[in-house]
A and B are shown apart, each in its own frame.
Chain A
Amino acid sequence: MAVTESPAKGRRRFWLLDLYGSAVGKKWAMALSGIGLLGFVVAHMIGNLHMYEGAAEMNEYGEYLRIIGGPILPHTVFLWLIRLPLLAAFLIHIHAAYALTITNNHATIDKYKQPREWLAASYASRTMRWSGVIVLLFVAWHLADLTLGWVNPDFISGEPFHNTVVSLSNVGIAALYIVANIALGMHIFHGAWSLFQSIGVNNPRFNRWRRWFAQALATVIVIGNISFPVMILTGVVG
């Protein structure tokens, strides 16, 4: 009888690359990098709540992030130890999404003439690519605006409160932040549920909780992040 050849036999590639070569492995990579990015998004939103304490506290928080680990670690080293893995997770997430999109486009050469009637797929799940691209473009703008100050003429390094208020007082820019965060919320709405499936965290007793977790996380992030442009535009903060 035919004996199954061990699929691992004869492969010389490093096993993680071998894993990443498969679509299931790429979904693992997307889920794990997604967890890292979700952790950042949550911490970023909570940290920014210092905006409501006033300028001194917000600026102190910004400086605090740079002196964590001192005096053992030099200034901003800890921050970079967080930033670099985040950047890696971001790049892996994007590359895997891109590669899987190519794979899926090859697998679906023929489209149905009759528009599909979706029974289970949500609007969020069907627009992950677009919400992802919107978030990517927004992150680029956001870094240029409030981290580097390239697109913020009144940018003062080390004064995040001032920079944020100046930027978000502009209705157009505030609207951009609101739209981008709704896209982020939709991305999280599907992603924070989907990641459990991708890494096989599935137990009929707890499966409902996965949905609730994703919905709660998306809601909290969107409300928290959108509160900043809204409160600055209405003059509550500033």
Chain B
Amino acid sequence: MDLTLQVWRQAGPNAPGRLVDYPVKDISPDMSFLEMLDIVNEGLNAQGIEPIAFDHDCREGICGMCGLMINGLAHGPQLGTATCQLHMRKFKDGDTIVIEPWKAAGFPIVRDLAVDRSTFDRIIEAGGFITVPTGSASDANLTLVPKEVADWSMDAAACIGCGACVAACPNSAAQLFTAAKIAHLSLLPQGQPERWTRVEAMVDKMEEFFGSCTNHGECETACPKEISIDFIALMNKDYMKAKFKNRRLVSQTG
């Protein structure tokens, strides 16, 4: 396959960026999208041109490192998969492919296609954990969880934190990520002690960096793990409840 790539090149966080054309020849349709970029980079290296920087790690759709805006679609035209799981057979010979990084104020560009997603870590730090008593492990079946609840929690826990939800959102909102990270704990018995402080802390932290939700639903379609916007509704409901419950808890402690 012969392709024309238009790739976002940016030398550093504050450098101006622009789309640069790269003609690419002899690409196998069996290559993954990232392997194709590897080939392009080998070619650039041989010509003495700085290779294209892009994030990647496991290349099997579970780590959440890769993420590219391909032809105006987060993670490309294949739904329910990350960029690394996209193969070149999804494109036609002679296609022009525009590749851009995630663009959001909360995701500053490090270089080319690599962005800094540490704002997601700040949101997790704010409340994405549970209190675990130390000592010997409790009996395996001590805390019973209905199968349906465990499944629903797992649906939220499938989030790999890639940031496609933010990238796809016209408002650069991180609602789907934050809602998933809240829900996978708050649905389970183990997540109950911090349920109300968690939602308030994580939403407040999220709003320091990201936009607000206008319920377009783009995040849900962009998500490589197909996480539902139902979790956003749950987060909104819990946030309001937390405003009442946390006040009552505070009144107990004086």
Contacts and interface: CB of A to CB of B under 8 A. Distances in A.
Interface of A: 1, 4-9, 15, 18-19, 22-28, 100, 103-104, 106-122, 125-126, 128, 190, 193-194, 196-202, 204, 207
Interface stretch (B33-41, B47-55, B85-93, B202-210): B202-210
Given A4-B194, A7-B204, A200-B234, A100 B212 contact: yes
A196 B220 CA distance: 17
Nearest to B18: A113
A157 to B, nearest CB: 41
Interface centre among B216, B230, B235, B239 (most CB of A within 10 A): B216
Interface of B: 6, 8, 19, 69, 71-73, 79, 98, 100, 103-106, 109, 126-127, 131, 170-173, 194, 197-198, 200-201, 203-204, 207, 209-218, 220-222, 229-230, 232-240, 242-243, 246-247, 249-250
Contacts, number: 168
Contacts of B106: 107
A110 B247 CA distance: 38
A214 to B, nearest CB: 11
Contact of A114 (B69, B211, B242): B69
B236 A111 contact: no
B103 to A, nearest CB: 4
A4 B230 contact: no
18 contacts: A4-B194, A6-B249, A9-B250, A100-B214, A104-B171, A107-B106, A112-B72, A116-B72, A119-B73, A120-B216, A120-B217, A126-B216, A196-B233, A198-B215, A200-B238, A201-B233, A202-B233, A204-B230
A120 B226 CA distance: 13
Contacts of A115: 72
Contact of A7 (B69, B104, B171, B246): B246
Given A8-B246, A107-B171, A119 B218 contact: yes
Contacts of A125: 214-217
Contacts of A23: 207, 211-213
B191 to A, nearest CB: 12
